[in-house]
Amino acid sequence: MFLTCIYCLKRRRETSYSKREHVVHQCLGRFKQNFVLHEMVCDSCNQYFGDGIDLVLGRGSLEGFIRPWHGMKSDGKPLRKRLKTRVASGQKMSGLIVSILPAKGKDEPVADLMDQICFKNKTSGQYECFELEKLPSKEEIMSRGLDPKEAYLTVEDEKEVKKVQRRLKKLGLGPMKWESKEWVGDDRLVFETEAVLDAIVARALCKIAFNYLVFNTERDFVLREGFNDIRRFIRHGEGDFRKFLRPNLPPLLIEDRQLNIQTTRGHLITLTWSDKGNRIISRLSPFNQQTYEIVLCSNFSDLWRPLRIGHHFDLETKEITKLGDAAGLIVLPPGSQILR
């Protein structure tokens, strides 16, 4: 028997669908009676996602950054291209660049100090830090108002100091005097993190929403032409990601909105029609932190069908429950009725 893959639209033999596709990628947790798609995503697409967008979601996105706080282990080091974490201002050593690593046998993740050089800003007196792999030029130092003579270096191995001095000299910086000091970090520091949302991360988030639509409908429905744009965006990166995904929505749960609290730290996802009934919208809030709106179809012209559903993926109990049911979770998307 031949089946059409919901992402590449290729017709392939049943045997080419040996892997399961989790609606919410396993990097965001494993759940009881997990939502899984069988024979919907071909092995080729499954592999492509696993090596690319899913990997970035798990290790290099805002969501990937939150994972260690839920005890989620990582197979590899964090991908830091889209993430920047620093010691927040107003503390000793503010501005220092760190990498957050999942804790081993401890309750909370640990901050790993990166090898870096920090220059004092002549006006503010604050230090601005640069990783040694990304040393700034003399011009950049000057244009940022930094003092090339007032700098400190954090390195794990003291042998590095000579190497860095040589590199700085080449950049026209120095010679500088160095004195060695052992840094005793505070037990608890406040960090600030910047996470970049780009097309790669957006595709991984859109895939969760599209998988959720597939799980709640069936193959024939999601193979319709109206879903080709989102399909091509997820599978091939075609189109501007802002057309499909919008961040910074208010919290999905009405309690959270009204009381300004966070009722759960699990994942939330919903599926609804737009007010005019021509667009199919998913709202996704991994860890109930950042909330995204995802447009799965922007101009639906086929037969209308009821689509109004939401689920809570509880990371503590590992249960998946329908929103509005026994869990007491109620969603109120803008301009709509309470979902029960």
Which spans of this chain sit near Zn ion (rule: CB under 5 A)?
A: 5, 7-8, 42, 45
Q: Give the span between the Cα atoms of 6 and 13, in whole angstroms.
A: 14
End-to-end Cα distance, the chain: 40
Q: Which residues pair with 113 in a beta bridge?
A: 98
Of 10, 58, 51, nearest to 208 (Cα)? 58
Least distance between Zn ion and beta carbon 228 (Å):
14
Q: How many CB atoms lie within 10 A of CB 101?
A: 14
Measured in whole angstroms, the distance separating CA 291 from the mean position of its chain's CA atoms is 11
Least distance between Zn ion and beta carbon 223 (Å):
12
Q: Give helix 199-216 / helix 228-236 axis angle, nearest 10°.
A: 130
Judged by beta carbon, residue 7 or residue 212, the one nearer Zn ion is 7
Q: Give the span between the Cα atoms of 199 and 166, in whole angstroms.
A: 39
Matching residue, tokens 């429950």: 321
User: 148 phi and psi, to 5 degrees?
Assistant: -65, -15
Q: Which residues pair with 309 in a beta bridge?
A: 271
Peptide bond into 175 cis (omega under 30): yes
Torsion sign, CA atoms 261, 265, 266, 270: positive
Least distance between Zn ion and beta carbon 44 (Å):
5
Least distance between Zn ion and beta carbon 212 (Å):
18
Judged by beta carbon, residue 45 or residue 339, the one nearer Zn ion is 45
Judged by beta carbon, residue 93 or residue 209, the one nearer Zn ion is 209
Judged by beta carbon, residue 48 or residue 178, the one nearer Zn ion is 48
The answer to whether residues 67 and 79 touch, using CB atoms and an 8 Å cutoff, is no
The answer to whether residues 322 and 274 touch, using CB atoms and an 8 Å cutoff, is no
Judged by beta carbon, residue 1 or residue 326, the one nearer Zn ion is 1
Least distance between Zn ion and beta carbon 314 (Å):
31
Q: Give the span between the Cα atoms of 6 and 285, in whole angstroms.
A: 23
Least distance between Zn ion and beta carbon 48 (Å):
8
Judged by beta carbon, residue 37 or residue 57, the one nearer Zn ion is 37
Judged by beta carbon, residue 5 or residue 83, the one nearer Zn ion is 5
Least distance between Zn ion and beta carbon 96 (Å):
45
Least distance between Zn ion and beta carbon 18 (Å):
13
Angle at the Cα of 31 from the Cα atoms of 319 and 27, rounded to 5 degrees = 135
Judged by beta carbon, residue 42 or residue 146, the one nearer Zn ion is 42
